[in-house]
Amino acid sequence: MKRRNFLKKTLFVSGSAIAGSAFSNSALATSRRKNILILGGTGYLGPAIVEAALIGDHNVTLFNRGITHPELFPQLEKLRGVRAVDAQQQNLHSLEGSRRWDAVIDVWPHEPTIAASTAALLKDRTEHYLYVSSIGAYSSYAHANMNEDAPTRAFNGNEEDYSPAKAESERRLKVIVGDKLTIVRPTAIDGWGGTGPDTLSWLLRAEAGGRHIGPGDGSDPYQHVDVKDVARFLIMSVERHITGTFNLTGKSITFREFLAGCNEVTDSDTEWIWIPEDFLAKQGIADWDHFIGWRWDPQWRGFAQISSERAFQAGWKPRPFNETVLDFLEYYRTQHPKIIDWRNPQTPWQDPLTPEKEQAVLAAWNSASA
């Protein structure tokens, strides 16, 4: 499954700034303008990184195919080429030569061959190489407060297997780039330009009002990160030459806090009825499909309790929850994007917890608990 499949359209038109941008932070101030090469830059996270760099008054060059949203950022230098696992299809000619950049940010690839070949070409022509990985690189999520030193997945040789391939890309880049490397591992990314149902499904239920199911007892963890916060950390790292590996997961909250936040943002009086996992299982809905983002299985509890303490210590300050989800809702309402479930990106997402099914389960729970 290709990450590119679920990185969709944003509102950036002709290089205009993000609506409601939160990038004007003192952490973006710099005493020296940097020359930054961004590999990609036109998907979901990419434009946010470009905007953060431009607001920081840096010089930005983009390298990509020129296929995905070529209208974005017309004022920037754009180098064209193709990155591919097959060496016969890859074309990095526009990156060849003696030109140097202060920093290179590789935004999207998970295939180790693609990540490594570009790094090998550019490693001697930059002082700082940054790679966007994922918390999917970790081999287990059974323990809470996992930090960046936790084991990562073994590579199975399949470059399309996203999580093991991300872990292998990290390992190869460490060998190629050495101590000039910064790796960031975001969790689920929300905010402006987001197209996943993970948070949106809950926002729409809250917005609908009435009574809805709150899975479990409300104490299960929830975690996400704002797309602008990921971008800001990357540019802050460029400006301060911060190297190493960093989780970008924000602070973990309980599901009760998460749904209360959804109510607040949508100005809703929705009543969340907390129903235990075992009862939901009897109804056939105690799963991720029906309650996206809810992890009750002990083997997965650490997935939403990953530590970002290292990033906090470096000076990272994520945006408040309500700002992130307001951006998300505004984008959804004004841009009407196709909502995509990353597990099946070719099929438009539809909430499997239909109103009829949910009300039937609520009625059954009322009868059982009467």
The type of residue at 158 is N
Q: Does 29 reside within a domain?
A: yes
In the chain, pLDDT over 90 holds for what percent of residues?
82
Residue 203 reports pLDDT greater than 80:
yes
Q: Does 314 reside within a domain?
A: no
Identify whether residues 63 and 76 lie together within a single domain: yes
Identify whether residues 63 and 163 lie together within a single domain: yes
Question: Phi and psi (nearest 5°) for 40?
Answer: 110, -125
Whole-angstrom distance, CA of residue 224 vs CA of residue 187: 6
Identify whether residues 106 and 60 lie together within a single domain: yes
Identify whether residues 132 and 95 lie together within a single domain: yes
Q: Does 368 reside within a domain?
A: no
Identify whether residues 30 and 157 lie together within a single domain: yes
pLDDT, average across residues 135-156? 97
Identify whether residues 264 and 135 lie together within a single domain: no
Surface-to-core class of residue 88, CB atoms within 10 Å of its CB (0-12 exposed, 13-18 middle, 19+ buried): exposed
Q: Does 280 reside within a domain?
A: yes
CATH code at 207? 3.90.25.10
Identify whether residues 96 and 9 lie together within a single domain: yes
Strand arrangement, sheet containing 129-132: 77-80, 59-64, 35-39, 103-106, 129-132, 181-186, 244-248
Q: Which residues pair with 38 in a beta bridge?
A: 62, 105
Identify whether residues 156 and 293 lie together within a single domain: no
Where does the pLDDT of residue 109 fall: very low under 50, low under 70, confident under 90, or very high at 90 and above? Answer: very high
Where does the pLDDT of residue 296 fall: very low under 50, low under 70, confident under 90, or very high at 90 and above? Answer: confident
* pLDDT value of residue 127: 97
CATH code at 175? 3.40.50.720
How many domains, the chain? 2
Whole-angstrom distance, CA of residue 231 vs CA of residue 225: 11
Q: Does 42 reside within a domain?
A: yes
Contact in structure between 264 and 322 (CB atoms under 8 Å): yes
Identify whether residues 165 and 262 lie together within a single domain: no
Quick count: other Cβ atoms within 10 Å of Cβ 31?
Answer: 5
Where does the pLDDT of residue 2 fall: very low under 50, low under 70, confident under 90, or very high at 90 and above? Answer: very low
State in Å, rounded, how far the first CA of the chain is from the last one. Answer: 46
Identify whether residues 243 and 269 lie together within a single domain: no
Surface-to-core class of residue 89, CB atoms within 10 Å of its CB (0-12 exposed, 13-18 middle, 19+ buried): exposed
**Global confidence as pTM:** 0.90
Residue 80 reports pLDDT greater than 90:
yes
Q: Does 316 reside within a domain?
A: no
Whole-angstrom distance, CA of residue 197 vs CA of residue 324: 14
Whole-angstrom distance, CA of residue 23 vs CA of residue 332: 21
* pLDDT value of residue 346: 77
Identify whether residues 95 and 183 lie together within a single domain: yes
Q: Does 370 reside within a domain?
A: no
Sign of CA dihedral 195, 197, 199, 203: positive
Closest to 129 in 3D by CA, of 243, 3, 245: 243
pLDDT tens digits along 111-128: 999 999 999 999 999 999
Beta strands in 67-210 (DSSP E): 77-80, 103-106, 129-132, 181-186, 189-190
Where does the pLDDT of residue 31 fall: very low under 50, low under 70, confident under 90, or very high at 90 and above? Answer: low
Domain membership of residue 57 as a residue range:
3-190+224-248
Whole-angstrom distance, CA of residue 62 vs CA of residue 49: 11
Element (H, E) at 208: helix 197-208
Quick count: other Cβ atoms within 10 Å of Cβ 228?
Answer: 28
Where does the pLDDT of residue 138 fall: very low under 50, low under 70, confident under 90, or very high at 90 and above? Answer: very high
pLDDT, average across residues 2-9? 32
Q: Higher confidence at residue 8 or residue 192?
A: 192
Distances (CA, A) of 15 to 12, 48, 70, 74: 6, 11, 10, 6
Q: Does 310 reside within a domain?
A: no
Distances (CA, A) of 281 to 38, 50, 278, 342, 369: 46, 45, 5, 24, 16
What is the DSSP annotation of 39-94?
E--SSSHHHHHHHHHHHTT-EEEEEE-S-SSTTS-TTSEEEE-B--SSTTT-B-GG
The percent of the chain in helix, strand and coil, each rounded to the nearest 5, is: 40, 15, 45
Identify whether residues 241 and 289 lie together within a single domain: no
**Between vectors from CA 97 to CA 92 and to CA 102, what angle results, nearest 5°?**
90
pLDDT tens digits along 349-368: 889 999 999 999 999 999 99
Contact in structure between 171 and 245 (CB atoms under 8 Å): no
